[in-house]
Structure formats: C-alpha cells, structure tokens
C-alpha cells in the first residue's frame, strides 16, 4: 500500500483542521492559500514520454519534434540570420547544404545533431545560444495528421507507473475541489524557452474530472505587447524578447490564442486570473518565468498581484523556484537561478543573470556554467519563509543553498527532492507544511558561510510553522515507526560526498543508526556532520529516504 494512501493526514481537510492548533502568524497574506511546490518535472505517461507508461500499446499522439533540412529552410536561414555574424551564418549554410539528401527530410533533433557533429562539430559548438535556437526553430516542421490537423502531445495519467506522481496530482485535484464547487486552473508555461511546445502537455496534465483547465498564453512577448498595446507586433516581440522563431508555423493554434488574449487587453487578463481557483507554473528556467511577472524595470505587471492571491499555486522545478521572493524578517528573499555546490563553496554567489545553457567554461560576467547565480529581488513571492531550491538531493545542492543563504543574510532554505512536493497551507491566519510524493525535503539553516544545520523531512512529515521556526509536528513524532537494528556506520571518511545523492544517503544512514557524528570529503573540502542536543531522528516511513532528521549540525572546512 502506498505511503500516501496509508496516511490519512494527507487529506486536505485533515491538514486544514490541524492548523487550528497552531499560533497566529504574520504570514497570512492571502489568508487562505495552498502552495504545492514540486522539486522536478512530474514523471507522467505521455506520448512523448512512453518510458513512464505501464503499456505502450494504446499510446497515440506527438512523440517528438521533427526537423527537415531543405533548400527552402536553408535559404530562410541565410536570408534572416539573427545577427551580424556572417561567418557563423556562412559556415552553418555550408554544413546544412551537405545534409539536404532524403535521409534528413524528417528526423529527430538528436539524429540531426549527431549528423552535424560528424560533419563539423567546431561550427556547431561555436554557435551562440540565439544562433543555435534560430537554426533549429527554422528547421522544425509541423506534424500533421491525415486531416491536416496538428498532432498534439497526449497525457495518460491512468497509465503512469510512478505512483508518487499520481499522489501529487490527486492532492492538487482535491485542493481545487475543496476550494470551490466549480474549480478552474490555468497552466502557465513561461518557464520554457518555447512555451507553445509545452502547452499540450500541461493541459493534459491538469485535465481533472470536475475541474476546468486550460493553457494561459502568458508569455514574455504577450506581457510586453498587452501592456504597451502592441498586439500587432507580437511576432517581432516573440523573436526579440523570447528568442523563438517560426512558431506560427509549428503551433498556429497556440499563436492564435496568444493574439486573441492580447487583443482583449490587460483588464480581461487580470479578470481571467482573478476568476481562476489555481495556477500552475511549469519547469524550465525560473528566470524566464519571472519575465511574465515583472517588467524590464523590475516592476510588477498588473496581473502579478492577482496571481499571488490565487487559492492554489502549483509549481514544478522552475515553477517552484520562482515562488521564492517577497520579504521576511531577514530582508528580501532571493530566487536561486543556477549553480553547483562545489562552485558555490569555491566562488561564492553572484547576483546576476544565469549563464547561457550553451556556455561551458568561461561565460559572460566571468562566470562558469556551474556558478551560483541568483535574482536579488526574488521571484513571485508567494513563498516568503526562505529560498526554495529543486532537484535537491539528487543533484546534491545543499551547500549551494547554504552558501546563498549566508551571502544574502537569509536564515532558511528549503530544498525539494525530485518527484516530491513541499505543501504549504495557510488557513485563517495559521500555517503548516507537509511533504507528499516520493522522497523528502531538506530544510537548511545557515549560521555562517560554511556552517549551519540541516533537517530532512520525508514524505508523510507534517511541519509546524511558528514564530520560532519549523519543527516536526507532534503527530509526526507520535506516529514514528520503531527503530530498526542495523550495523553502525564504518569508521571512515566518506568520499565524493557532494556528488549524486551521496549526502542524503549519509544523512539517512546516520538517522537509521542513530549515529552522532560523521566525516566526509570531496576534493579540497572536509564535511563534519554532528548531532547536538537539538538533533532528533525519527523513522517516518519505510522507504530508503523515510528517516526524519531535525537540526543536524554541519561545517565545511578546506584542507
């Protein structure tokens, strides 16, 4: 039986009832709101992700983007090259002219990239991000059925093999239905460079029985056009502000919907959002999501406040990270945008835009592709308790989050593991949090640049939110499972601790063995983990990540 099904405390009504036991907080704006913050994209069965399906026999729909190298597309690339770098243009045209034979008329992006690399990898590697995207946007072709209609990606939630995904979606659906009799939810896909490509998937993902769901064409181009009354310039704004090309050919229905929304004006858009029960932000790049919330001067768009007031806000990956923001007692809450733990410990953090995805070694602003970057003014600001981070344990991001907290003066960070959701519920001036899904959430408290405390909240944990901080709820402690007898940890220094999910594994081992101290290293860094009088261990569930940890002290030194 699944953990989600076993624990009655995951019912929304039970969670809300529990808030009555908590003291009043200063975090009650809006008074009643649920945030579902997922640490990754959801592993869901769809026509483009058959590996997540229990069977592939009945799966139909768009499987992947298709590209075609033709004389016509090469001519267009040559004529409308996006910048003045004629050397790059000429090299690209020369390579593509060698790929015009029948074999490359309709191929996947991966196939085309491999063929290009075989011919001239140097040319491919030299392209800027905008040049690379331009070439492949122009080469992409629309996929049509026999009726000349666009084939869409289709989602099959009932065939999804990852039960943690369906647990999270069930919670979202229940939250919508208990809020109002006629719930609606809008999907915003602005985290994607190409938000039109993602629209099919998120409409299918949010297709719940008894819930009206739809894609909201809130893109950076629309935000600029609708506020400046330049809807006729959407095509050029799409190119200039988003770096996407040829979308009217690939997704004509989505482009038409974007134009129709723009023509109706700002007041209509605000009203549309105000009438929605919930909104969902997709995964991708949180810096892109921010572009539909704030203008180029950092000022909120007219609809941003309406988004903040929705009874339910859902985010996956970047859609979670962008919810960090606003202000708390420690100042402005920043939004993390890039970086690894090792780079963070070596270089510190930078309040600049993240490096390009195609940058490898030396990038703009003297950054590397691993540099820790953040947005000083934060994101949406629906979550003001501290900084949110995602893909957390799997990408070993504890030390990058700890360093950002230390550099910005924030006290609390919350790292959400993949296929896991941190749920924050405010009701009637009180608040609590819980964890649903697959693994857990790491709570990081920073004391100094390289020290602090970490807690691990597995699925099933309920967290009391008080003026003194975040603690395991009494019901979680009282329902803890008995300890199990396993051998103690070996007396050794654990290696490469900041790679993969090794830090989570070590912390779980300490919890299960009731270990008081452990030492690990990675390159020049030495990590000390020590239990103090404030450290507690509880088995919350029987999974490999089911041991709850409170306030395990950490310190990193170099040697």
277 and 312 assigned to the same domain: yes
**Residue entry with tokens 């649920």:** 34
Q: Look at residue 11 in the predicted model and tell me its pLDDT.
A: 53
Residue 441 included in any domain: yes
Looking at the fold, whether 165 and 250 belong to one and the same domain comes out as: yes
Rounded Cα distance between 430 and 294, Å, is 29
Q: What is the pLDDT of residue 25?
A: 35
Q: Which of 475, 505, 529 is the last residue of a domain?
A: 475
Domain-ending residue, one of 114, 141, 168: 141
pTM above 0.85, yes or no: yes
**448 pLDDT above the threshold of 60:** yes
Q: Is 150 a domain residue?
A: no
Specify whether 120 is located in the same domain as 161: no
Residue range of the domain that includes 101: 66-141
| 379 in the same domain as 287 | yes
* pLDDT tens digit sequence for 461-500: 999 999 889 999 999 999 999 999 889 999 889 999 999 9
With beta carbons less than 8 A apart as the criterion, state whether 334 and 378 touch.
yes
Q: What is the mean pLDDT of the chain?
A: 93
Q: Are residues 487 and 471 located together in one domain of the fold?
A: no
On whether residue 258 sits in a domain, the answer given is yes
Alpha helices in 238-369 (DSSP H): 247-250, 252-263, 265-274, 286-289, 304-308, 318-321, 341-347
Same domain, 26 and 175: yes
Q: How far apart are the first and last CA of the chain?
A: 48
Q: How many CB atoms lie within 10 A of CB 290?
A: 24
Does residue 430 share a domain with residue 412?
A: yes
Residue 296 has pLDDT above 80, yes or no: yes
Are 456 and 491 contained in the same domain?
no
Report whether 391 contacts 438 (CB < 8 A): no
Residue that terminates a domain, selected from 141, 168, 199: 141
Domain contains 57: no
Q: What is the pLDDT of residues 24-34, one digit of tens each?
A: 333 336 779 99
HEC per residue, 430-497: EEEEEEEECCEEEEEEEEECCEEEEEEEECCCEEEEECCEEEECHHHHHCCECCCCCCCCCCCEECCC
Are residue 167 and residue 235 in the same domain, yes or no?
yes
- Over residues 238-256, the pLDDT tens digits come to 999 999 999 999 999 999 9
Domain CATH for 305: 3.40.50.880
Dist CA 388 CA 489 (whole Å): 31
């Amino acid at each position: 039986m699944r953990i989600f099904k076993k624990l009655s405390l995951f019912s929304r009504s039970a969670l809300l009832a529990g808030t009555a036991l908590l003291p009043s907080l200063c975090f009650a704006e809006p008074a009643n709101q649920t945030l579902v913050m997922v640490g990754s994209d959801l592993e869901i069965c769809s026509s483009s992700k058959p590996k997540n399906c229990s069977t592939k026999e009945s799966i139909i729909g768009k499987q992947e983007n298709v590209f075609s190298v033709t004389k016509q597309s090469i001519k267009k690339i040559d004529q409308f090259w996006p910048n003045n770098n004629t050397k790059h243009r000429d090299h690209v045209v020369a390579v593509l002219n060698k790929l015009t034979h029948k074999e490359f008329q309709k191929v996947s992006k991966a196939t085309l990239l491999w063929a290009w690399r075989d011919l001239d990898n140097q040319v491919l590697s030299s392209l800027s991000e905008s040049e690379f995207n331009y070439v492949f946007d122009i080469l992409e072709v629309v996929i049509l059925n026999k009726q000349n209609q666009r084939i869409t990606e289709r989602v099959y939630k009932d065939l999804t093999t990852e039960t943690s995904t369906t647990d999270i979606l069930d919670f979202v659906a229940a939250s919508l239905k208990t809020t109002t009799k006629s719930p609606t939810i809008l999907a915003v896909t602005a985290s994607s460079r190409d938000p039109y490509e993602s629209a099919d998937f998120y409409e299918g993902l949010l297709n719940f029985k008894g819930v009206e769901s739809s894609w909201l064409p809130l893109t950076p181009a629309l935000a600029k056009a609708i506020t400046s009354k330049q809807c006729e310039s959407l095509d050029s704004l799409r190119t200039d502000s988003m770096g996407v090309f040829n979308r009217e050919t690939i997704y004509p229905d989505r482009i038409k919907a974007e134009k129709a929304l723009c023509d109706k004006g700002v007041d209509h858009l605000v009203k549309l959002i105000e009438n929605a029960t919930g909104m969902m932000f997709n995964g991708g790049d949180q810096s892109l999501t921010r572009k539909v919330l704030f203008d180029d001067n950092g000022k909120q768009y007219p609809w941003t406040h309406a988004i903040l007031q929705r009874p339910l806000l859902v985010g996956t990956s970047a859609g979670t990270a962008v919810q960090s923001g606003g202000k708390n007692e420690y100042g402005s809450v920043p939004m993390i945008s890039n970086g690894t733990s090792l780079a963070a410990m070596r270089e510190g953090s930078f309040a600049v835009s993240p490096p390009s995805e195609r940058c490898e070694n030396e990038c703009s602003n003297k950054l590397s592709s691993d540099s820790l970057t953040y947005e000083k003014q934060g994101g949406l600001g629906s979550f003001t308790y501290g900084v949110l981070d995602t893909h957390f344990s799997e990408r070993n991001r504890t030390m990058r989050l700890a360093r950002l907290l230390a550099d910005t003066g924030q006290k609390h960070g919350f790292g959400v593991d993949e296929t896991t959701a941190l749920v924050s519920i405010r009701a009637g001036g009180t608040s609590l949090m819980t964890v649903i899904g697959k693994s857990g959430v790491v709570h990081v408290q920073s004391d100094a640049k390289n020290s602090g405390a970490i807690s691990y909240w597995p699925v099933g944990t309920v967290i009391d939110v008080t003026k003194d901080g975040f603690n395991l709820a009494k019901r979680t402690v009282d329902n803890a499972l008995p300890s199990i007898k396993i051998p103690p940890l070996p007396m050794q220094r654990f290696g490469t601790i900041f790679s993969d999910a090794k830090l989570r594994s070590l912390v779980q081992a300490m919890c299960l063995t009731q270990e008081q101290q452990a030492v690990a290293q990675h390159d020049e860094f030495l990590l000390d983990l020590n239990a103090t009088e404030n450290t507690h261990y509880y088995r919350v569930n029987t999974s490999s990540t089911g041991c709850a940890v409170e306030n395990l002290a950490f310190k990193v030194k170099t040697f």
